[in-house]
């Protein structure tokens, strides 16, 4: 597991990421003393459809003033959105030290450091007490984690009774082989895709109740069909996921689009609820 985690951390690592983002903001002639969340939106949400899909997911429950954990938080964009728009107190945890450093500095840059906290750590060994959070949120992380039972049991453990688990993820359909590189892995040995039904079985066994699932695949396909021709013709914008995926951005996006189209992968978001405490 240690080797696997090290591999994942290396996969995402970009040395000096925060400084590179500042450089790109400066090249856009933006005042570094007046940076807003919107200025960062192209890079700080590392999932299909970025900020738009996070805002939709946030509308699926009442998030006002909630205590939220984002598992595999990346650069912390969703944590900042929830802190800013819903006055949530948010904690993000991620394997990548460099992402956590960058997330912390970006929150400071946009003045949201009082409502966001970022910690380096493993989603399968969450360093929090039982029942700590009223909402647990995760987007595009489980594909990097082989031990699904441990992941979802940790999520369930830290969630308060009556709290909600919100997810937006990529799932496998069928058994056919996937072409790599993908945004989360350069090769199959470091990718742990599984079907959404297995996720539902695992979470249900843990005592989480499904509230809803939404298939986001067609919206994801439409997103890539708009984005990819633009990147191919004009190059990626200065503030974009190319800062995280580098020279393989187009092939990763192309492979993902292909498999969403040919039904080998699907994008699903959803909500689960943890049982309320019962009085005996």
Residues at the contact surface with ligand SAM, assessed by CB under 6 A: 8, 12, 45-47, 72-74, 77, 93-96, 99, 122-124, 139-141, 144-145, 183-184
CA distance 169 to 187: 19
- Residue 133 vs 162, nearer CB to ligand SAM: 133
* Placement of tokens 């799932």 in the chain: 171
As measured in angstroms, the least distance from the Cβ of 143 to ligand SAM is 8
CA distance 272 to 22: 38
- Residue 24 vs 252, nearer CB to ligand SAM: 252
Structure tokens, 102 = 């960058």
Give the number of other CB atoms < 10 A from CB of residue 127. 10
Q: How far are the Cα atoms of 105, 106, 107 from residue 32, in angstroms, in the given order?
A: 12, 11, 13
- Residue 29 vs 124, nearer CB to ligand SAM: 124
- Residue 161 vs 246, nearer CB to ligand SAM: 246
As measured in angstroms, the least distance from the Cβ of 61 to ligand SAM is 18
As measured in angstroms, the least distance from the Cβ of 62 to ligand SAM is 22
Contacts of 61 (CB under 8 A, 6+ apart): 135, 164, 166, 271
Q: Which residue is nearest to ligand SAM (CB)?
A: 74
Give the number of other CB atoms < 10 A from CB of residue 140. 20
CA distance 222 to 177: 23
As measured in angstroms, the least distance from the Cβ of 93 to ligand SAM is 6
CA distance 120 to 3: 16
Report the length, in residues, of the chain. Answer: 280
Q: Give the ranges where 110-246 is alpha helix by DSSP (H).
A: 148-158, 196-205, 217-234, 242-245
* Helix (H) or strand (E) run with residue 274 in it: strand 265-274
As measured in angstroms, the least distance from the Cβ of 147 to ligand SAM is 9
- Residue 33 vs 189, nearer CB to ligand SAM: 189
As measured in angstroms, the least distance from the Cβ of 29 to ligand SAM is 26
């Amino acid at each position: 597991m240690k080797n696997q985690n090290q591999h994942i951390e290396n996969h995402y690592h970009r040395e000096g990421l925060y400084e590179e983002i500042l450089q790109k903001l400066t090249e856009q002639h933006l005042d570094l003393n007046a940076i807003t969340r919107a200025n960062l939106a192209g890079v700080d949400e590392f999932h299909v459809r970025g900020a738009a899909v996070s805002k939709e997911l946030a509308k699926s429950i009442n998030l006002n003033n909630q205590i939220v954990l984002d598992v595999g938080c990346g650069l912390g964009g969703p944590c900042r959105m929830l802190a800013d728009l819903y006055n949530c107190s948010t904690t993000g945890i991620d394997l990548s030290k460099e992402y956590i450093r960058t997330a912390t500095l970006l929150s400071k840059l946009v003045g949201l450091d009082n409502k966001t906290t970022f910690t380096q750590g493993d989603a399968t060994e969450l360093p929090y007490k039982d029942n700590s959070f009223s909402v647990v949120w995760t987007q595009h992380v489980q594909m990097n984690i082989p031990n699904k039972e441990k992941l979802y049991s940790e999520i369930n453990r830290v969630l308060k009774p009556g709290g909600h688990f919100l997810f937006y993820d990529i799932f496998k359909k069928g058994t056919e082989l996937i072409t790599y590189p993908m945004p989360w892995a350069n090769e199959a040995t470091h990718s742990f895709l599984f079907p959404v039904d297995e996720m539902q079985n695992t979470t249900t066994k843990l005592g989480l109740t499904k509230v809803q699932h939404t298939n986001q695949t067609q919206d994801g396909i439409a997103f890539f069909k708009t984005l990819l021709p633009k990147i191919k013709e004009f190059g990626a914008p200065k503030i974009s996921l190319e800062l995280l995926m580098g020279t393989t951005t187009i092939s990763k996006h192309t492979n993902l689009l292909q498999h969403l189209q040919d039904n080998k992968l699907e994008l699903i978001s959803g909500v689960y609820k943890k049982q309320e405490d019962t009085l005996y």
